[in-house]
Amino acid sequence: MSSRHALAPVRSVDDHRQRIEDLLRPLAARATEAVPMDRALGRRLSADVYSPLDLPVFRNSSMDGYAVRAESVAIVPVTLPLSGVVAAGNTGAATLPAGGAMKVMTGAPIPAGADCVVPVEHTQSDGATVTIERSRAAGDFVREAGTDVRTGQLLAAAGTLLKPRHIAALAAVGLPELPVYRRVRAAVITTGDELVQAGLRLLPGQIYNSNGLALAAALTENGAEVVSLAHSTDDHREFRRRLHEAVTAADVVFTSGGVSMGDFEVVKEVLSGLGGEFGHVAMQPGGPQGITVVEGTPVLNFPGNPVSTMVSFDMLARPILRELSGLPAITSTELPLLAALHSPAGKRQLLRGKLTPEGVEPLAGQGSHLIATMAQADVLIDIPAADTEVPAGTVVRTWSL
């Protein structure tokens, strides 16, 4: 079945991105959840987190050595009777006899009555006694309780993007889970009768489905949770079914393919009937675009050529997804262009480029189906719609991939 839809007027990349951002930004007010510590990396705290205990939890030794009273080692060398060993993890209460020494390991509780530790390097021991060769002051090599963290102290504020260093501090106070914002839940639907899942044999005319995995990877890298990765043939009924499942499961849905001017453009045909807007965005690759709200859920419709899909994601969806996830914005970098470019008038060009110490080099093979070039690229070179001849040496904007 074929149908044609009038194209909306050509829209700029910035205008279309703005539309998408306006639709997705309300997702910032989404729900929170508790995640176990081992799944908290990269998530954003939804509440201030306070320490439930002191750190150090108890007074302990910062060295392997001998716990003594400073007054016992005021004049050295001195030989003291040894009355036991306290290892890290000893839970019994040790008490130092007056005038004696106890062997202690790093992290072991300081025996009651001791006030300093003499590092093992400055001692000699025969097992029954220890000869101390250096005097120490009270407090030396003793880590007092609460000197790192006090009970009730703020450890990490709401909004913190959790890095390994935060996990270290929050784990040290024994928290089993953390309150975080739920990730943006995204669903991906690829379309096309010709597409086959990796691992299966290709029949003549078939190709492997790469956009599904590529979009899922891009979503994950930019802070979203991919809750469904589905494929539909170009059959309307099947696409409607996949669409309903996706909008039910996700906060935002991405489709690939089926939005241009062919005979079997299932995405455009089905979604136009549901209020979808389809038209051209003045960029290359990634010109044909659609946007629809289905059952209250935004559905972004990217074209199917693999490079177009990825460039659409990077230019249109990546900024808002990063903002919603609390990830740092990707800003453009100005670099000298190392080879002259010809660029068609009226369309912003996003060319795959490779970084060198001298600047950015446009890669050979800029077709929107040339996925290997995309894999080699470090950046998109952003040539404004009005520029047609861009000489080598021109300073151009680039976006990292």
The DSSP annotation for 247-291 comes to HHH-SEEEEES--SSSS--HHHHHHHTTT-EEEEESEES--EEEE
- Provide the CA 399 distance to its chain's centre, in angstroms: 18
Residue 260 CB, shortest distance to Mg ion, in Å, is 8
Residue 339 CB, shortest distance to ligand AMP, in Å, is 28
Residues between 169 and 208 that touch ligand AMP (CB under 6 A): 190, 192, 194-195, 207
Other CB atoms within 10 Å distance of the CB of residue 353: 29
Question: What are the strands, taking DSSP E only, across 120-169?
Answer: 123-125, 129-132, 142-143, 154-156
Tell me, what amino acid is at 232? S
Residue 250 CB, shortest distance to ligand AMP, in Å, is 18
209 scored as a contact of ligand AMP (CB under 6 A): yes
| Closest to ligand AMP by CB, 273 or 367 | 367
Judged by CB under 5 A, the residue of 65, 109, 111, 192 near Mg ion is 192
Task: Kindly list the distances between the CA atom of residue 306 and the CA atoms of 118, 172, 268, in Å, as whole numbers in the listed order.
Answer: 66, 45, 18
What the block records as the tokens of 222 is 């930019």
Judged by CB under 6 A, the residue of 56, 100, 109, 212 near ligand AMP is 212
Strands 207-208 and 195-196: parallel
211 scored as a contact of ligand AMP (CB under 6 A): yes
108: three-class secondary structure by DSSP: coil
207 binds, among ligand AMP, Mg ion, none (CB under 5 to 8 A by kind): ligand AMP
210 scored as a contact of ligand AMP (CB under 6 A): yes
Per-residue x/- marks for Mg ion, 258-277, CB under 5 A? x-------------------
Q: In what order do the strands lie in the sheet with 116-119?
A: 116-119, 65-68, 101-104, 78-86, 129-132, 123-125
Tell me, what amino acid is at 29? A
Residue 202 CB, shortest distance to ligand AMP, in Å, is 12
336 binds, among ligand AMP, Mg ion, none (CB under 5 to 8 A by kind): none
> What residues does 354 pair with on adjacent strands?
361
Judged by CB under 6 A, the residue of 79, 260, 272, 394 near ligand AMP is 260
304 scored as a contact of ligand AMP (CB under 6 A): yes
334: three-class secondary structure by DSSP: strand
Q: How far apart are alpha carbons 243 and 272 in whole angstroms?
A: 13
279 scored as a contact of ligand AMP (CB under 6 A): no
319 scored as a contact of Mg ion (CB under 5 A): no
Residue 351 CB, shortest distance to Mg ion, in Å, is 24
| Closest to ligand AMP by CB, 65 or 192 | 192
- Interacting residues toward ligand AMP by CB under 6 A: 190, 192, 194-195, 207, 209-212, 256-260, 262, 303-306
- Interacting residues toward Mg ion by CB under 5 A: 192, 257-258, 304
